[in-house]
Amino acid sequence: MIRRSDMLFRRRPIVRIGQSNIAGGYRPATDWPARLQSEQDAVRVYNLFCHHQEASPTGAYARNDTWHRVAPWQMGTSSDPTPVSGPLTGNWGLDLADALLGAGENPAFVDYCIGGVGLAYYTPGVTGTNYPTVIAWIQARISELVSPLDPILIIYQGESGVGNGAAWDDYMALIAAQMRADLASTNMGIVVVQIPATYMTGAIPTAQAAYVASDARSRLAYAHDSTFVTDPGPADLHIDTESGRRLAIGPDNGAVVRSVLTCLKELLA
């Protein structure tokens, strides 16, 4: 029997924050490779709030504040977070956890996503922030790990803007500085996932790239061949399974795809 303390020993916290893109891709687990259709070895705490604009489900989300192995899950609703019956679903985090294990990393995923909010929600010291609550929850989860390695932050946010008229890269600089201090990791790597060009062009994707160019410990991931699919497919589908998998693990394809996995490997080199 594996003891809980052994499972939590020397893990690398992979902190994923942002909008419901963090969880997007609610395809049935059967659409994933067979090895990803059951729980994986990587430990993960899953705290997900996904807000959907579609009529049904409205405000669907799932929440789990306990450590468990990476696995497909069932969605709840805004009025009742208890998982509901139906097919198991999954997202690009399943692929990423699987790939990191294959690369010799033992990740511990710490996810906190709120759909439909601007970047101000995660930015310390600005109007509309919920940063104190977010960072306290992240710190609490990491404190439960035994001798954790240095964390890495992945942020996937953008299409709801930033609020208060500030540029995305200005807000991101505040987040990076404060989170590095609060997690006692002054050299913490950051992966910024750029909003797909097929979904949004203009100021925010440009500012996301500008931030990464300004921070030597940041990398830009993107899957510009992806889109937010609503037809065909279920109404609650954010990104299709294939584009989510490309975002997570590639293969990289120049200006079209640069995977989160590639970014993480560079930061860990």
Among 86-90, 152-156, 209-213, 241-245, which stretch is predicted with the lowest mean pLDDT? 86-90
**Average pLDDT, stretch 233-244?**
61
Residue 114 — very low, low, confident or very high, per pLDDT cuts 50/70/90?
A: confident
Residue 50 — very low, low, confident or very high, per pLDDT cuts 50/70/90?
A: very low
State the Cα–Cα distance between residues 133 and 198, nearest whole angstrom.
Answer: 33
**Average pLDDT, stretch 163-184?**
92
The b/e string for 38-73 (b: 16+ C-beta within 10 A; e otherwise) is eebebbbbbbbbbbbeeeebeebbbeeeebeebbbb
Tell me which CATH code domain 4-268 carries. Answer: 3.40.50.1110
Per-residue pLDDT at 230 exceeds 70: no
| pLDDT of amino acid 75 | 62
pLDDT digits (tens, 9 = 90+) for 189-217: 999 999 877 677 778 899 999 999 999 99
Give the chain's mean pLDDT.
81
